[in-house]
Amino acid sequence: MHNFFPNFDNIIFFDVETTGLNPMKDQIIEFAAMKFTKEGACDETHFYIQLENGRTLPEEITELTGIYTEWLEKRGICMEEAMTKIKQVLFGPGTTNLLIAHNANFDMRFVLKMMSDAGFDKLCTKSHVLDSLTVARDRKEHPCKLKDMITHYHITGVENSHRAIDDVFALAKVVHAMGTECNDLDLYVNLFGMYPRFPTPEAEKILGITYVIQNYEGGKNRRLYLIEREKGIKPHGTPEEEVYGDIEDEYLARCEGRI
């Protein structure tokens, strides 16, 4: 995996399941992560979180995830312990981490809200994030959900079950397939795409992330980082002294493995 992201000490795939869509009102109920180190180790983290303040799990969330309120009461850890564990996994000191999630703006907003509530927000201001959904939209036509990418890359042995631990395993395989298909993933770090009809509201944008409208041309997406290059914005990991000629030629060269 580090072949695709040589500038990072740890590559961390993560996923959360929540009680709803709004991090200001809802909470994380399941967290899972897989951390790959440069040394080749792989550490897995998975736990459930108890509901706060007498909450009950909405029926539609139970239908989607198979998680019940009673289950969280028995198997979940308290919110304070969960905050500490997530901080250790995603924002451990002394290392440069790359966080990867599918539809990362959703997962990151919930995590960052939790960190802010715990007083850890300063630790998260320099996070580097890859949104595999943004990459997916550049690789195939709609739909691009995790289950669609599993099918697109003919991946077996995993499923998109809307359970965090299952989705993390699936995500790692999808991203590996993406990197094998075209070694340009480093150019998507800290670069999130938005649909023209549904741009991300300013209040929902994450500090340090560049948001760009992800347009379609001829039924296929433009490479999002090429749009940014045309604007003169250098993606993460591009040396300042490096000068590119034709940006389309650069993309083709990466796909062919020449750079």
Domain borders along the chain are: 10-255
pLDDT in tens, 160-211: 777 889 999 999 999 999 999 999 999 999 999 988 888 899 999 998 999 9
The two three-digit tokens of residue 117, written as one number: 């509530």
Question: Cα–Cα distance between 144 and 121 in angstroms, integer?
Answer: 31
Tokens at 167, concatenated: 């989705």
Q: pLDDT tens across 11-46, in order?
A: 999 999 999 999 999 999 999 999 999 888 999 999
**Per-residue confidence band for 248, with pLDDT thresholds at 50, 70 and 90:** very low
Q: Using the predicted structure, report yes or no on whether residue 79 has a pLDDT greater than 50.
A: yes
Q: Where are the beta strands (DSSP E) in 1-155?
A: 10-18, 28-37, 42-48, 97-101, 128-131
Residue 245 is predicted with a pLDDT of: 37
CA distance readout (Å), 105 to 42, 72, 164, 202, 208: 24, 25, 16, 12, 12
Contact yes or no for 31/86 (Cβ under 8 A): yes
Q: Considering only 82-86, 124-128, 177-181, 238-242, which range has the smallest mean pLDDT?
A: 238-242
Determine the pLDDT at residue 104.
97
The predicted model gives 114-119 an average pLDDT of 91
Going from the C-alpha of 172 to that of each of 15, 102, 147, 179, 195, the distances in angstroms are 11, 10, 13, 11, 24
What integer is the mean pLDDT of 147-164?
90
User: Residue 11 is which amino acid?
Assistant: I
Q: Looking at residue 160, what is its pLDDT?
A: 77
Length of the chain: 259
Q: What single string gives the DSSP state of each residue in 134-192?
A: HHHHHHSSSP--HHHHHHHTT--S----S-HHHHHHHHHHHHHHHHHH-S-GGGGTTEE
* pLDDT value of residue 114: 94
Average pLDDT, the chain: 84
Query: At 95, is the pLDDT very low, low, confident or very high (cuts 50, 70, 90)?
Result: confident
Which tops the pLDDT comparison, 223 or 185? 185
Question: Residue 231: which pLDDT band, with cuts at 50, 70 and 90?
Answer: low
Given a cut of 90, whether residue 69 has pLDDT beyond it is yes
The pair phi, psi for residue 187, each rounded to 5°, is -80, -10
Q: How many angstroms separate the CA atoms of 30 and 198, rounded?
A: 27
**CATH class given for the domain over 10-255:** alpha beta
Residue 251's pLDDT is what? 45
Q: What is the pTM of this model?
A: 0.86
2, 36 Cβ separation under 8 angstroms: yes
Output the pLDDT for position 230.
59
| CA separation for the pair 253, 36 (Å, rounded) | 27
Q: What does the pLDDT average to over 131-157?
A: 93
Mean pLDDT score, 123-150:
88
**Cβ-contact 121, 115 below 8 angstroms:** yes
The single residue listed with the structure tokens 């998680």 is 67
Are the beta carbons of 49 and 27 closer than 8 angstroms?
Answer: yes
List the structure tokens of 96: 């440069």
141 Cα distance to chain centroid? 19
Token representation of residue 143: 């739909």
Given this model, what pLDDT does residue 161 score? 74
Judge whether residue 244 has pLDDT over 70: no
Spatial distance between the Cα atoms of 152 and 127, rounded to a whole number of angstroms:
29
Return the percent helix, strand and coil in the chain, to nearest 5: 40, 20, 40
